[in-house]
């Protein structure tokens, strides 16, 4: 096995040593000791081949610190495969697991973007709401377009309201047709009507200043 510094830095770069280090860390990831699982997950950042092992442990992990370490490592790996392993956490009834996954996904805009449309079409409105929460910090050029699609087409008032809350901060003149159309969708929802009007006023005020 290659000599290792703290935090799993491999000094012997040979393929055999690297495989031995990987095997040792995966064994630690499956340990009955949560501290050992946490450290092993942390040190697997440099091992893309451990992606599935991390996902397998993610499904059963109950220790918050180990769970956080696993999710952070998957986020650092940042591959589509890693994202796919994180997405089921959006369905979790555990707020910590769900919120940690949302935070990690927010940091992977280019990879997560490929999954957004399917997530926004998920039959579970909670998943769609959590997806909008991901969009809140997702630096991607399609965010406004995704949000306007939600307020125009989603049938669940809470999903639309969540999207609208975010759209108020991001809307520009191109959003006006969608906002006017959405205003007709839930006529008996005062909060929705109020937020729509606030978004429209914000866009018009910004347009006025620009002119």
**pLDDT tens figures, 62-72:** 999 999 999 99
R_g of the chain, CA atoms, integer Å: 22
Q: How far is CA 22 from CA 10, 44, 80, in A?
A: 10, 8, 21
Q: What is the pTM of this model?
A: 0.83
Dihedral sign, Cα of residue 34, residue 40, residue 43, residue 45 = negative
Does the pLDDT value for residue 3 go beyond 90? Answer: no
| pLDDT tens digits, one per residue of 127-185 | 999 999 999 888 889 999 999 999 999 999 999 999 999 998 888 899 999 999 998 99
Query: Helix and strand tally (H, E) in the chain?
Result: 12, 0
The pLDDT assigned to 5 comes to 42
- At residue 169, the pLDDT reads 87
Task: Please state the φ and ψ torsions of residue 184, each to the nearest 5 degrees.
Answer: -90, -10
Write down the pLDDT at residue 20.
Answer: 87
Longest Cα–Cα distance in the chain: 68
Q: What's the pLDDT tens digit per position in 33-45?
A: 999 999 999 999 9
């Amino acid at each position: 096995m290659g000599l290792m510094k703290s935090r799993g830095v491999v000094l012997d770069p040979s393929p055999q040593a690297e495989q031995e280090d990987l095997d040792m860390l995966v064994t630690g990831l499956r340990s009955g000791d949560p501290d050992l699982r946490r450290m092993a997950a942390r040190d697997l950042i440099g091992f893309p081949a451990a992606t599935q092992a991390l996902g397998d442990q993610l499904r059963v992990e109950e220790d918050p610190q180990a769970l956080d370490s696993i999710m952070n490592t998957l986020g650092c790996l940042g591959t589509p495969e890693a994202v796919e392993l994180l997405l089921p956490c959006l369905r979790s009834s555990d707020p910590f697991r769900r919120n940690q996954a949302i935070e990690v996904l927010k940091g992977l805009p280019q990879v997560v973007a490929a999954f957004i449309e399917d997530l926004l079409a998920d039959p579970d409105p909670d998943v769609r709401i959590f997806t909008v929460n991901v969009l809140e910090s997702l630096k991607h050029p399609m965010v406004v377009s995704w949000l306007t699609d939600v307020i125009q087409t989603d049938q669940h008032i809470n999903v639309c309201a969540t999207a609208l809350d975010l759209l108020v901060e991001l809307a520009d003149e191109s959003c006006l047709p969608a906002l006017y159309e959405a205003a007709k969708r839930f006529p008996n929802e005062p909060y929705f009507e109020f937020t729509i009007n606030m978004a429209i006023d914000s866009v018009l005020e910004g347009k006025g200043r620009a002119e």
